[in-house]
Amino acid sequence: MIQLTSLPIDIEAVIDCVKAPETGAVDVFIGTTRDQTAGRKVTALEYETYEPMALKVMERVAGEAGGRWSLGRIAIVHRIGRLNVGEASVIIAVSSAHRAEAFEACRFLIDKLKQEVPIWKREFFADGSVEWSGQTPESAPARGGL
């Protein structure tokens, strides 16, 4: 399961999709919207992406993880659009026969997603200001080798 969605992420459904009888481990990373950045009060986040490219890079990254570790199933779901504090922005779930591979693959996937997938975050602050976090759609170089 590789998805971008503007709807709240169904965390249980994502976890269920990676479970398999042949796997004994499921590792899950859930990224949520926190209420502060560098001491500034955050009221919301907004994610933008170029969906065809983002999905292609997400698929490639999932394939890389599958090539490095013996995994059962992989799920990567990222929200786009506006999110309130406390909402899940990303979930990565990985199943494997053993926990070590699941932990390693899950960490690899979130790190690669943050580095390579063209998803941009705008932060809305309590003082009314709005700022891009990291690269912006306009300044970002082509990422993911595409």
> Helices (H) and strands (E) in the chain — how many of each?
3, 9
Domain housing 27: 2-128
In a domain? residue 62 = yes
In a domain? residue 140 = no
Number of domains in the chain: 1
In a domain? residue 141 = no
- What would the pLDDT profile of 2-46 be if each residue is shown by its tens digit? 999 999 999 999 999 999 999 999 999 999 999 999 999 999 999
Buried b (16+ CB within 10 A) or exposed e, 102-115: bbbbbebbbebbee
- pLDDT bracket for residue 133 (50, 70, 90): confident
Residue 89 sits in a domain whose CATH number is 3.90.1170.40
The model carries a pTM of: 0.89
- What would the pLDDT profile of 55-85 be if each residue is shown by its tens digit? 999 999 999 999 999 999 999 999 999 999 9
The token duo for 29 is 């990373």
In a domain? residue 78 = yes
